[in-house]
Amino acid sequence: MQANAPPPIQCRDLSRSFGHAGARVDALEPVELHFAAGETTAIVGPSGCGKSTLLRLIAGLDTPSTGSVRIGGETPLQMRQRAALSVAFQDAALLPWRTVRGNIALARKLARLPPDPASVDRLIALVGLAGFEDRRPADLSGGMRQRAAIARCLISDPRVLLLDEPFGAVDELTRARLNHELPALWQGRGVTTLLVTHSVSEAVMLSDRVIVLSPRPARVVADIAIDLARPRATGAEADALIANVTEALAQSAPPRPQPA
Amino acid sequence: MTIALHQLRRRGADRFYPVLSALVALLMWELLARVFAQTYLIAGPVEISRYLWDHAGLVARAAGITTFAAAIGFVLGNAVAIALAVAAVLLPSLARLISALALVVFCLPLVATGPILRVIWGPGLGPQITLAALAVYYTTFLPLMVGLRAAPPSWFDLVRSYGRGRFSALVEVRAMASLPYLFAGLQIAAPAAFLGAMFGEFTGAERGMGVLTIRAMRSLDVAGTWALASTAAAISMLAYAGLGRLSRALNNGPPPLILAPVLEGERRARWRALLHPILVTLILLAIWWLSMEAANLSPFFAKRPADVWAFLITAPEAAAHRATLGAALLETLVLALPGYLLGLALGLGLAIVLVLAPKLARGVMPVAIALRAIPIVITAPLIVVALGRGPAGTITIVALMIFFPSLVACYQGLARTPRQVLDLFDSYAASPLRRMASAQFPAMLPAFFAAARMAVPAAILAATTAEWLATGRGIGGLMALTASTSGYKMLWSAVVVLAAVAVAGYVVVAQIERAVLRIYGAEQLTR
């Protein structure tokens, strides 16, 4: 397998429960999932359904209770150690004492790649932060912080990109703009992308495939292919798919308890 | 324009209030000194200035020596604290053990450690430096332990997502994230180092502020005692303010509120809960024994654990030894406990009053924070001179020692009430008292208990110091007597017993804290 080709991701019998006998919480029921190489898959589900747990398991930031994750035949740890994987976090996770430039350069340092100031500045311009290179995160808006976080993800030129509600903390308008501008940066660069979100429209606009999870313990209740041309725009076709996913999401919820 | 002017005036007022209240305090001090000149022995600012003018050279030389010893102790103690905290973070399985050992060493009675260090080190600066280091390491270790863990989990996930481990997390995340906490600790440590150095001088040094203080007190030189204590307080406050300035220059944002973490954290199996203290005790005894043997110290003054065991348990006169020690301990605790409770209650009470009367707080709090910097114990001679050698003096010293840190902790704790909660109470037009009782008071409890825990060793230190220096009663007096008659078995036994009592008191307060906070919301339990 070529080192630079995007790898497929294989989850076998993957589950996670917390606590121990007596007070056990199942965050994720055993799932079988396969994500094709180079595809963008969105994982949607109600709040607290375990989507983030699934992403953390795939990133190897958490240890599964059962099952395993293989990314192109490697373990998540092996992927992380050769810096082939990047994670974008819900809260951007920028270090407040580093500038935008410093935060992005940190990823190369952590990934043990040689410093590359030219690429750092080019990426900053690409995500639309030119002129803010020497600002600290506290001086940036929520949307700008997410732009910086995305730039940090891309600076190590990963083969797998794991996005955990990266635009969850910004307002709807900003989110739409980020959704429009940023994905072009990694799409078509040979990256296998997983996106966790609770926004159905975001899932449809960004991905090749949408997986719908049920409330906890999470199960896969729908697996919908998104065959829309890129660049994408809202329209009847997209609306129909959004309705599809929304329907699946509604069906996944257990019926409300009825009074006896 | 008017807004800018208003802000300017406001800023002027913020500077003006502390200056005004400091002036008022000085004036009241002078007045008190003159009015009560017959009943109490108080020297006012004028008399102190005159003394300092007349003895400028003497006091300056002494202050120089003591500051030098304090500075070296400060550096050494903090280096140890930083090393311990970093070790605890890099080796999480040892974190609890390291914390427990650090607490026990913190509970060592400085008073009795002084003479023991004196015979070990001989003449010179050794004991002063060691005591300064002992006095500072815990005040730095504790906030640093909190600060090193204070970063949000996603920052650590970021480091891990590139396959890096604990060391990278320490360098890239924890080190910078803990800086404000480290400086908060260093700030408290600066006056504590001065206190430690003065303590070392109380026990047989040739020169320094401590020596002059003892001399002035013994000869009932009121002006001298007050002048020396004021000088020591001024140096402490300068060090405190200087570090505060440095901290503000390096960190942005307000200093963090430090809640001392409770040692007994997670729920564990019963046998482990029992095993842990036993393990800590065994390791401590081993360190004690090994360090004495390694340094090849004479068994005449460097007693080993077995000597203390024999002295208190197996020797023919052990029962008599226990009776002497027990009676002295009881005499001390009878004074230390009321002083402890009084200091806590006054600190809590004034904090509540100040939050209800914010205008007053603008003037009082800067002074209170500054006064917290004074190691109250160095004022013990002066309180004894003023109030006499009866129980009132000792209780006052203990209460004062605890009052200022409690006041600051409670006030900061009350200010920690979430804004939305206060808005909720305001939206129902709730009275300030109702708001205090239902919202602010519960939010303050963790800060209060953190202060209450830290105050236990402080109370014992204050009580024994007063006894050692002045009253000659209780276990402090007993230790002073045995130190002067080379009764090292009794002295070492007293150190062991006092440290055990302090640790026990700390654990009892921690248990009360857990019980109370369980009622007021488990999310407030500090780990």
CATH code of the domain in which A1 resides? 3.40.50.300
Report whether pLDDT(B253) > 70: no
List the one residue out of B258, B315, B333, B247 whose CA is nearest residue B505. Answer: B333
- Number of domains observed in the structure of chain A: 1
State residue B523's pLDDT score. Answer: 53
Dist. CA B407–CA B360, nearest whole Å: 14
ipTM: 0.87
- Most confident by average pLDDT, A29-43, B65-79, B140-154, B348-362: B65-79
Report whether pLDDT(B290) > 60: yes
State residue B265's pLDDT score. Answer: 43
> How many CB pairs (< 8 A) connect A and B?
48
State residue B339's pLDDT score. Answer: 93
Listed in sequence order, the residues at least 6 apart from B462 whose beta carbon sits closer than 8 Å to its beta carbon are: B336, B339, B376, B377, B380, B397, B398, B400, B401, B402
Instruction: Give B176's contacts in chain A (Cβ within 8 Å).
Output: 95, 97
- Most confident by average pLDDT, A159-163, A212-216, A231-235, B278-282: A159-163
Q: Is B155 on the interface with A (CB under 8 A)?
A: yes
State residue A160's pLDDT score. Answer: 92
State residue B264's pLDDT score. Answer: 41
The minimal CB distance from A80 to the residues B154, B155, B161 is found for: B161
Dist. CA A125–CA B483, nearest whole Å: 73
Q: Do residue B162 and residue A83 have CB atoms under 8 angstroms apart?
A: yes
Instruction: Give B159's contacts in chain A (Cβ within 8 Å).
Output: 110
The minimal CB distance from A110 to the residues B152, B154, B168 is found for: B168
State residue A254's pLDDT score. Answer: 63
Q: Is B152 on the interface with A (CB under 8 A)?
A: yes
H/E stretch holding A30: strand A25-35
Give domain status of residue A181, yes or no.
no
Name the band, by pLDDT with cuts 50, 70 and 90, for residue B7. Answer: low
The minimal CB distance from B161 to the residues A61, A90, A109 is found for: A61
Q: Is B153 on the interface with A (CB under 8 A)?
A: no
Report whether pLDDT(B526) > 50: no
| Mean predicted lDDT score pLDDT of chain B | 82
The alpha-carbon gap from B174 to the nearest alpha carbon of chain A, in Å, equals 11
Name the band, by pLDDT with cuts 50, 70 and 90, for residue B219. Answer: confident
Report whether pLDDT(B213) > 80: yes
Give domain status of residue A133, yes or no.
no
Least confident among A95-99, B262-266, B352-356: B262-266
List the one residue out of B478, B517, B524, B483 whose CA is nearest residue B497. Answer: B478
Mean pLDDT of B140-162: 87
- Condensed to tens digits (0 to 9), the pLDDT of residues B374-425 reads 666 666 766 776 677 778 888 988 898 888 888 888 888 888 787 888 888 8
Q: In 10 A of CB B251, how many CB atoms? A: 18
Q: Is B159 on the interface with A (CB under 8 A)?
A: yes
Q: Tell me the domains of chain B and their CATH numbers.
A: 48-258 (1.10.3720.10), 297-527 (1.10.3720.10)
The residue range of the domain holding A62 is 1-84+160-167+191-254
Q: Do residue B162 and residue A107 have CB atoms under 8 angstroms apart?
A: yes
3-state secondary structure B127-170: HHHHHHHHHHHHHHHHHHHHHHCCCCHHHHHHHHHCCCCHHHHH
Give domain status of residue A40, yes or no.
yes
Q: In 10 A of CB B241, how many CB atoms? A: 15
Give domain status of residue A20, yes or no.
yes
Percent of chain B with pLDDT over 90: 12
Name the band, by pLDDT with cuts 50, 70 and 90, for residue A1. Answer: very low
Report whether pLDDT(B461) > 70: yes
Q: Do residue B154 and residue A156 have CB atoms under 8 angstroms apart?
A: no
Report whether pLDDT(B257) > 60: no
The minimal CB distance from A95 to the residues B155, B157, B162 is found for: B155
Give domain status of residue A114, yes or no.
no
Report whether pLDDT(B10) > 70: no
The alpha-carbon gap from B272 to the nearest alpha carbon of chain A, in Å, equals 18
Name the band, by pLDDT with cuts 50, 70 and 90, for residue A28. Answer: confident
**DSSP 3-state of B73:** helix
Chain B residue at shortest CA distance from A103: B172
Give domain status of residue A121, yes or no.
no
State residue A148's pLDDT score. Answer: 92
Give domain status of residue A233, yes or no.
yes
Q: Do residue B158 and residue A87 have CB atoms under 8 angstroms apart?
A: yes
Report whether pLDDT(B72) > 90: yes
- Condensed to tens digits (0 to 9), the pLDDT of residues B417-449 reads 878 888 888 888 888 888 888 888 888 888 888
Q: Do residue B157 and residue A83 have CB atoms under 8 angstroms apart?
A: no
How far are the Cα atoms of A52, A89, A248, B83 from residue A40, in angstroms, in the given order? 16, 17, 19, 46
Give domain status of residue A179, yes or no.
no
The alpha-carbon gap from A55 to the nearest alpha carbon of chain B, in Å, equals 12
Backbone angles phi, psi at A223, to 5 degrees: -140, 100
Backbone angles phi, psi at A212, to 5 degrees: -105, 125
Report whether pLDDT(B365) > 80: no
**DSSP 3-state of A195:** strand
Report whether pLDDT(A47) > 60: yes
Mean pLDDT of B248-266: 57
